[in-house]
Chain A
Amino acid sequence: MTAARGKWLQLAVLAIVIAALPLIFPSGYYYRVGALIFVNALSVVGLVILIGLAGQISLGHAGFAGIGAYACALAPAHLGLHPGLALVLGAVVSGLLALLIGRPILRLKGYYLAVATLGFGILVSMVLTNERALTGGPDGMAVEDIGLRPLLRDLGWRISGGEFWYGISGIALLIGAWMALNLLDSPTGRAMRALHGSEVAASTVGIDVARQKLRAFVISAVYASVAGSLLALQNGFVTPDIAGFMHSIEMVTMAVLGGVGSVIGAVLGAAILTLLPQVLTVFAEYEQLVLGAVMIIVMIFMPQGLLPSIMRRIRGRGE
């Protein structure tokens, strides 16, 4: 299978799943869960570029999600900006911030990089928690409606909030996945993959290692920011938890769980980790126990993640 055909196949599968899932939804609640999965998947696709492609780790990407989310909460309230434009503003701010801190941070390797990104994420969540006058502190703040649904209603198209955000998030995920797949298959993507293998080898064939790392960092920051914005807009509410350490961990776990090298794996990982707590609400007491056990077991038996392990098994049987 050629790479190009693989790309369109993956996108087609994704589009069909997104379009067909509502046919089996028993109630409106599932639209909300679906939208949540797509938004999480979008930020995880960004991490696939950073972790899977360029081989850099980040334990602080929730910081960028927080910036995106609070941009949508603050800009309409204080600058009078339309929430849709606030999403763009958040993405620009996240991208610029990533550009600024990326260069010194990405000189670090392994666990040192982990602690530096972790520090960044914690700083963002701390500012969001402590600046009560601006952000409402730990209680969070309301987010203005994006105002598209009344517009659709005027055009004679009546859909519920759940359906609307399911559609928007699904489309955003498709666009994000399409761009990521394009990147994977471009000279930039190949350069990133090369430095993942060996930085020394990559630099001897003329790849500007620092520049490519920075690029992956900025791109993944923008993905996280847009996902954070979409989450804030569809919830109509935002709290500093979105920038918290546990959210960063959740994002990395989703990426690695599904298989950190692939876009479809990212969606799979996001789906599993988003659904797990929904399923486990019945056993709320055991939620943490099961989540921890799942993380450990998958990583021990499928260190490459679910999707690559399953694919290998299928191929292995075919031979």
Chain B
Amino acid sequence: MDALLQFIFSGMTVGAVYALVALGFTIIYNASDVVNFAQGEFVMLGGMITVFAHQAGMPLPLAAAMAVVAAAGGGVALNRLAIEPARSAPVVSLIIITIGASILIRGAARLIFDKQLHRLPSFSGDTPIRIMGATILPQSLWVMGGAVAVFIGLWLFFSRTLTGKAVLATANNRIAAQLVGINTRWIMTLSFGLSAAIGALAGVLVTPITLVSYDVGVALALKGFAAAMLGGMGNPRGALLGGILLGLLESMTAGYLSSQYKDAVAFIVILAVLFVMPQGIFGKKPVERV
């Protein structure tokens, strides 16, 4: 029982990170129909920039804020320089562009920073909190709290603000949105910036637990992508649930079956879900227009 609770805690922590990455995927996918495989690199940038700014003497909150803003700038640049010029390209080309961007960002990070593993101090100490025989790190609460806060913030943004509704309108039908006067180009810019900022925030929150190096982005992008697909692409609720489900699955497998195959079970479940529900758990059934 204690062990189970312990696995749930660690699964929720990892799952919250996957959920944040998956939310980033979802926002960009909704605004542009692009799956941004460079999403994991924003998590890496968030962690790395914070570490180096903090080492240079900047207070942690300021360093973190700077990392989030810098990553958002990177997201906007990615959209302007690589995605917008290739708007009409086929899906395969867009996949290659974003994977190219991810390789490029990783290469640049290796040059600018270094190849070492780095860590950040925990935000509120390293004393584990005991709950019913299991323990949880205060930093884990920060990660989970961050995911919940981002989700609520996004929900408010999409349902209560005019800009948020403009994003939804663009996601629904780009041409119709343009006709009612929405600047869809600006919506794209906003989406990329927002999603990069969310990724960077995940990086800042999780670095005290998992450490960061220039190459952590690939695995996170794959897991986040898988989580987003599991929930149903383009659905924020699905992204949150898919991420947490994936995290729980991984920690249960690592705990009860085999830690070597924890990543495998995640993908087996995704294959199984897609076989039964080809659009993911919350996805809409697409209709092919002739």
Binding site for B on A (CB under 8 A): 51, 57, 59, 104-105, 107-112, 114-116, 118-120, 122-123, 126-127, 130, 198-201, 245-246, 249, 252-253, 256-257, 260, 285-296, 299-300, 303
Chain B interface main SS type: helix
CB atoms of A303 and B88 under 8 A apart: yes
| B42 shortest CB reach to chain A, Å | 15
* Set of chain B residues within 8 Å of A288, measured between Cβ atoms: 103-104, 106-107, 110
CB atoms of A115 and B93 under 8 A apart: no
Task: Say whether B11 faces chain A, with CB atoms less than 8 Å apart.
Answer: no
CB atoms of A123 and B103 under 8 A apart: no
Task: Say whether B117 faces chain A, with CB atoms less than 8 Å apart.
Answer: no
* Set of chain A residues within 8 Å of B93, measured between Cβ atoms: 256, 299, 303
CB atoms of A123 and B96 under 8 A apart: no
| B47 shortest CB reach to chain A, Å | 18
* Set of chain B residues within 8 Å of A109, measured between Cβ atoms: 278, 286
CB atoms of A116 and B85 under 8 A apart: no
Beyond A200-B288, A201-B290, A245-B222, whether A300 also contacts B85 by CB under 8 A is yes
CB atoms of B107 and A303 under 8 A apart: no
CB atoms of B261 and A286 under 8 A apart: no
CB atoms of B92 and A295 under 8 A apart: no
Chain A residue with the shortest CB-CB distance to B234 = A111
CB atoms of A300 and B233 under 8 A apart: no
Cα A256 to Cα B100 in complex, Å, equals: 13
Task: Say whether B132 faces chain A, with CB atoms less than 8 Å apart.
Answer: no
* Set of chain A residues within 8 Å of B101, measured between Cβ atoms: 292, 296
A-facing residues in B51-104 (Cβ within 8 Å): 81-82, 85-86, 88-97, 99-104
- Scoring B95, B108, B270 by chain A CB atoms within 10 A of each residue's CB, the highest score goes to B95
* Set of chain A residues within 8 Å of B267, measured between Cβ atoms: 119-120, 122-123
* Set of chain A residues within 8 Å of B35, measured between Cβ atoms: 111, 114
* Set of chain B residues within 8 Å of A299, measured between Cβ atoms: 86, 89, 93-94, 96-97, 100
Among candidates B99, B263, B280, residue contacting A126 with C-beta atoms closer than 8 Å:
B263
Chain A residue with the shortest CB-CB distance to B105 = A292
Chain A interface main SS type: helix
Could you say which interface size class chain B belongs to?
A: 35 or more
Chain B residue with the shortest CB-CB distance to A107 = B278
CB atoms of B260 and A115 under 8 A apart: no
CB atoms of B96 and A252 under 8 A apart: yes
CB atoms of A130 and B261 under 8 A apart: yes
| A277 shortest CB reach to chain B, Å | 12
| B101 shortest CB reach to chain A, Å | 6
Task: Say whether B188 faces chain A, with CB atoms less than 8 Å apart.
Answer: no
Cα A199 to Cα B286 in complex, Å, equals: 14
CB atoms of A104 and B275 under 8 A apart: yes
Among candidates A112, A200, A300, residue contacting B86 with C-beta atoms closer than 8 Å:
A300
CB atoms of B107 and A292 under 8 A apart: yes
* Set of chain B residues within 8 Å of A294, measured between Cβ atoms: 100
CB atoms of B261 and A112 under 8 A apart: no
Task: Say whether B225 faces chain A, with CB atoms less than 8 Å apart.
Answer: yes
| A279 shortest CB reach to chain B, Å | 16
CB atoms of A289 and B104 under 8 A apart: yes
Chain A residue with the shortest CB-CB distance to B111 = A285
* Set of chain A residues within 8 Å of B271, measured between Cβ atoms: 105, 116, 119-120
